[in-house]
Amino acid sequence: MEAQFLSERGAVSGAPRKRTTKTLVSTTTVGNVLEWYDWAIYSSAAALILNELFFPTLTPASGVLASLATFAVGLIARPVGGLILGHLGDKHGRRPVLVATLLVMGIATTLIGCLPTYDTIGIAAPILLVVLRLAQGFGAGAEYAGATSMVVEDAPPSRRGFFASLTIVGVVGGIALASAVTAAMASLPREHLISWGWRVPFLLSIVLVVVGIVVRMKVPESKAYEKVKQSHQVARLPLGELLRQQPGRVITAMIANAPLAFNIYVIQVFGLSYVTGRGVAKNIPLVGLLLGCIAGMILAPIAGALADRYGRRRTYVGFCLFNGIFAGPFFLLLSTGSTVSIWAAMALGFGLGCVTINAISASLLPEIFSARYRFTGVVFSREMSLVLLAAPAPLVAALLTNSAGGNPWPVAVLMTFFAFAAAVAVLRLPETRGTDLIQTDLIQTEHVEVERSEGERIEAERRGSRVD
Report the distance separating Cα 239 and Cα 452, nearest Å.
Answer: 16
In a domain, 227, yes or no: no
Count: domains in the chain: 1
Q: Is residue 351 within 8 Å of residue 296, measured between CB atoms? A: yes
CA distances from 315 to 125, 167, 325, 345, 360 (A): 46, 18, 16, 22, 8
| Residue 36 falls inside a structural domain | yes
Encode the chain (468 residues) as per-residue pLDDT tens digits. Answer: 333 333 333 333 333 444 456 666 766 777 678 778 887 888 778 777 888 888 888 877 777 778 778 877 887 888 899 899 998 888 888 888 888 888 888 899 999 999 998 889 998 988 898 899 899 889 888 888 888 888 888 888 889 999 999 989 888 888 888 888 888 888 888 888 888 888 998 998 888 788 878 877 777 777 777 777 777 777 788 888 889 888 999 999 999 999 988 998 899 888 888 998 888 888 888 889 889 989 999 999 999 999 999 999 999 999 999 999 999 999 999 999 899 999 999 999 999 999 999 999 999 999 999 888 899 999 999 888 888 898 788 889 999 999 998 899 999 999 999 999 999 999 999 998 888 776 666 555 544 554 455 444 555 556 655 555
Return the H-helix or E-strand segment holding 345.
helix 339-346
CATH for 112: 1.20.1250.20
Q: How many CB atoms lie within 10 A of CB 116?
A: 13
Task: Decide: 293 and 268 in contact? Cβ < 8 Å.
Answer: no
Domain that holds residue 391: 20-215+241-432
Is 184 part of a structural domain of the chain?
Answer: yes
Report if residue 9 sits inside a domain: no
Q: Name the residue among 440, 398, 380, 400 with its Cα closest to residue 61.
A: 398
Q: Cα–Cα distance between 113 and 106 in angstroms, integer?
A: 11
- Is residue 461 assigned to a domain? no
- In a domain, residue 55? The reply is yes
In a domain, residue 394? The reply is yes
For 279, left (φ over 0), alpha (ψ -120 to 50), or beta? left
Helix segments in 312-436, DSSP class H: 312-335, 339-346, 356-367, 374-385, 393-403, 409-426
The radius of gyration of the chain from alpha carbons, rounded to an integer in Å, stands at 23
Tell me if 406 is assigned to some domain: yes
